[in-house]
Amino acid sequence: MRYIHTSTLNARLAALMLLFAVPLERVEGVTFERPDSLQPAIGFWTRVYGEVDSLSGFIHDSDDLSVVYGTLRFNWYDSAQVQERRVEEAVACYQRALDALADGKRKNLTACEQKVLTLWGGKASAETLTAAAGRIRFQRGQADRMREGIVRAGAWEKRIRKRLRDAGLPEALAVLPYVESSYNPQVESHLGAVGLWQFTRFTGRHYLRVDEVVDERYDPVKSTDGAIRLLANYYSKLHSWPLTITAYNHGLSGMRQAVQETGGTDIGEIVRTYTGPRFGFASRNFYAAFLAAGDVTRNAEKYFGKLHRKQAENYWIVKVPSYLPLDGLVRELVVDQDVIKALNPALRPAVWSNKKYVPKGFQLRLPAATESATITAMLARVQGHAQQIPDFFYRVKAGDTLSGIALRYNHSVSDLMILNNLHSENRIRAGQSLRLYSALVPETILTASMDSARDDRERVLPPAQEASLETVAAVP
């Protein structure tokens, strides 16, 4: 198969990265500090990522991570409620032991009390033990998820490292997706963070395209470019990689406040002394967890044995010349839609269900096995459109329910929740403007309400179109 190679897209990407880049140390000169005060935390997270799976976990002190009271192991069939009850029982046991020792008990110790006394040392003060009783927490293991992440990362990590190098950032930042998502581009957190780099919708919109048609947070390549811009921006303000990495979790303003209040940029000192209201366990430990994840992934065979990592895929990139219907592309290309969907995770459900067109200018990935002549011919046959399918807007009235609106306008409740970024079907209010897919709105309503938009939607471009193609080779 003969590929058509062009340098246009690579040049544009390079220019974009340079636009957002800041003067940084040379990649090979960057070192990530490991203060002595963080060594217990690094060791703790190394065990979490490398030794203990998600059916186990540590009962430990939240401040001094060298103090691990015990390891809980669950059965695979234990429900969440059973696991939670066992954690509560274990925490209560150690709290009672700490309280008893704080009261001066030193004879006829239970096994739990003896263990706690050994951990804290025979000379632990009553104040120390009492404070420790309020700091017991449970940390679930992540070793199985880390192992799965290393396997998944084979498809993307080398490319991500190259993009980081090309942008002048330390390639070791490619470890961050292990901490954030276990290299799962489809994962969504309970707080709404999405993708490899776990961008929230709010932050994502500053660095990526995030809407009902395209959400680049789900795309490993596009989200990496967004993370590069964010990290370069943070570093230009903080001038410290430990602080920049911590800011990735805690936020730029939060780390600036930490520097101001502690009077310095030493990450060990900030972790030890800063008591900002949002600087909780996750933020204090984020940098140590990053270092530990790097240690584990660099020594993957030591922890997990021989692994068969996923291979990076080759694909064509086609710059879509107009607004194109996905079903037409699939039909003309004669490729299974699931194959195209796997290559283009940024396209949202509205595109796959033909409620929206693939947008003009979108860099569509197509299987490398497809002949370039086939792609060119396919694009010439697919009927393009001058504009995107317009949306229909409905203003909520008193007494409306989401299910009632969905029924009236031929939508599902899920359609409306996704399209309007709603987290609950009960969270609508009178006067609120809801976006609807005009492709689903009954034609009688469209005719009465959207005549001009409908005319625009049906204006068609001539069939002859140009598109730029290039191959993206797997990084060795």
Confidence tier at 473 by pLDDT (50, 70, 90): very low
Rounded mean pLDDT, 433-452: 67
User: Does the CA dihedral 253-255-257-263 come out positive or negative?
Assistant: negative
**What is the side-by-side order of every strand in the sheet holding 363-367?**
363-367, 315-319, 469-472
> 458 or 27, which is more confident?
27
Rounded mean pLDDT, 55-70: 96
Tens-place pLDDT, residues 64-116 = 999 999 999 999 999 999 999 999 999 999 999 999 999 999 899 999 999 99
User: Is residue 407's pLDDT more than 90?
Assistant: no
- pTM of structure: 0.81
Least confidently predicted of 120-124, 154-158, 286-290, 365-369: 120-124
Three-class DSSP category at 138: strand
DSSP string, 60-118: EESS-TT-EEEEEE--TT--HHHHHHHHHHHHHHHHHHHHHHHTT--SS--HHHHHHHH
* φ, ψ for residue 122, nearest 5 deg: -65, -20
User: Is residue 15's pLDDT more than 60?
Assistant: no
pLDDT attached to residue 408: 84
- Counting residues of the chain whose pLDDT is more than 70, the rounded percentage is 87
Confidence tier at 58 by pLDDT (50, 70, 90): very high
Rounded mean pLDDT, 142-159: 96
Tokens for 293, please give them.
């994840």
User: Is residue 220's pLDDT more than 90?
Assistant: yes
User: Is residue 56's pLDDT more than 80?
Assistant: yes
Least confidently predicted of 178-192, 263-277, 409-423: 409-423
Q: Are 435 and 393 in contact (CB under 8 A)?
A: yes
pLDDT attached to residue 392: 80
Rounded mean pLDDT, 257-262: 95
User: Is residue 323's pLDDT more than 90?
Assistant: yes
Confidence tier at 449 by pLDDT (50, 70, 90): low
Cα separation of 4 and 304, whole Å? 41
User: Is residue 450's pLDDT more than 50?
Assistant: no
pLDDT attached to residue 447: 57
Rounded mean pLDDT, 398-413: 86
- Counting residues of the chain whose pLDDT is more than 90, the rounded percentage is 62
pLDDT attached to residue 434: 86
User: Is residue 1's pLDDT more than 60?
Assistant: no
Least confidently predicted of 42-51, 360-369, 410-419, 443-452: 443-452
* φ, ψ for residue 422, nearest 5 deg: -95, 135
* Class of residue 71 by CB neighbours under 10 A (exposed 0-12, middle 13-18, buried 19+): middle
pLDDT attached to residue 6: 34
